[in-house]
Amino acid sequence: MTPVGTITSRKRSRRWADRALAPMPGIEPRMKPADKGVLISLALLLMAGMVVLFSASYYVFQDQGDAFTKVKQQLFGIAAGSAAMFVLSRIDYNMWRKPWVIVSMLAASGALLILVLVPGIGQRLNGSRRWIHIVGVSFQPSEFAKFAVALYMANALARIGEGILSFFKGIIPRLIVPGIAFLLILEQPNLSTAGSIVIVAIIMIYIAGAKFRHLSLLGVMGAAVGWYYATSAEYRLERLTSFRDPFASMQDEGYQLSQSLIAFGSGGLFGMGLGQGRQKMAYLPYPESDFIFAIVGEDFGLLGCIVVVALYLAFIFAGMRVALNCQDKFGCLLAAGITMMIGVQALLNMGVVIGLLPTTGLPLPFFSAGGTSIMIFMAAIGILLNISRSNEMVVA
């Protein structure tokens, strides 16, 4: 047996060690540095995005007097987003779980989604009303809604606890808010963005501990709703069927996807070189926005596409690592929601551009032109960085 005196001595030594590790009077504990994986992958995505955006936009905009128009707008969005990211990375993420913050975010998001549908306020472009123009700035309310819904889901799922195991009492009530956002965005119409919000919500439900059979049922229900919506209008049905053989309807719904596939074919394995691609020269519509990944394929080839995909996977890996290391369920779910909000959108965009999914209007995060969008994404990443900094405390 170990002598009692030895045990007492060990306890005393342990107490002394704890006191030695405790911060001295006047020395405040500080958060550890933000996750380097998130920062590095984000920086690489931003740099790659700027290069590709210039290649995709200079030909069209040089005829309008300034080949750097889109690049300048993107740089402004990155600058504003960097400032927001810096500030939010230093604000305790637990602030976002306060009821008044969540209600305010949802109320503002809902109001903006309704306003964009009002003629004269919402801007109509290509048959859709998705933009609001205020004081010289245009933005899509749906971008703000993505974060608001992810924030709500993180808080709701953190509070429910074991209730997540119940389908009708636990899961269904938590899908009401994402469902309302889905319906409002669908009215624009914007099925891809509306669908991405629901997909992220379901992923968060899975992370919260839902049963697999419940998730399977949600998947079947979602597929049924998507099929009904896609086949309920003739133009949507044409868009759904054209992606299977876009060259058969190249003069109509299949034109943009056909030009996108031609771009990938022209790029081959190593690409034609930066700025050397031809599809952006009035062949591929809006190469700087929804179909910018096709420019990656034409200029940098399959190898360039693999690098871009790898950068997104690195970001997702780093973000999910932050989520898994967080000891707080709310922080874990919020980190996962922010990460998957970006990852799912990138996956859907690339799936559309290479012809795996029906053609929809969804930008590629950090690549597609859109200063407001990139600013919101970077602000959300600031919260992700704060969660990573809060996972462990160090002594200054």
Residue 292 has pLDDT above 80, yes or no: yes
Q: What is the SS3 assignment for 378?
A: helix
Q: Enumerate the domain spans of the chain.
A: 34-395
> Where residue 201 falls among pLDDT bands split at 50, 70, 90?
very high
Structure tokens at 335: 């980190």
Calculate the alpha carbon distances from 337 to 68, 138, 154 in Å. Answer: 34, 25, 7
In percent, the amount of the chain with pLDDT more than 70 equals 85
Tens of pLDDT, residue by residue over 233-253, are 676 676 676 667 777 776 667
pLDDT, tens only, 310-342? 999 999 999 999 999 998 999 999 999 999 999
What is the rounded average pLDDT of the residues 132-151?
83
Highest mean pLDDT among 5-14, 52-61, 92-101, 361-370: 92-101
Q: What pLDDT does residue 64 have?
A: 67
Once rounded to an integer, what is the mean pLDDT over residues 31-39?
A: 85
- Mean pLDDT across 109-115: 90
At 215, which amino acid appears?
A: L
Per DSSP, the three-state class of 123 is strand
Mean pLDDT of 213-242: 79
Strand positions, DSSP E, the chain: 29-31, 122-125, 128-134, 137-139, 393-395
User: What pLDDT sits at residue 1?
Assistant: 42
- The pLDDT value recorded for residue 25 is 44
CB 385 within 8 A of CB 39: yes
Say if residue 152 is exposed, middle or buried (CB neighbours under 10 Å; 0-12, 13-18, 19+): buried
Global pTM? 0.86
Range in 109-113, 161-165, 298-302, 348-352 the model is least confident about: 161-165
317 in Cβ contact with 50 (< 8 Å) = no
Q: Count CB atoms within 10 A of the CB of residue 186.
A: 15
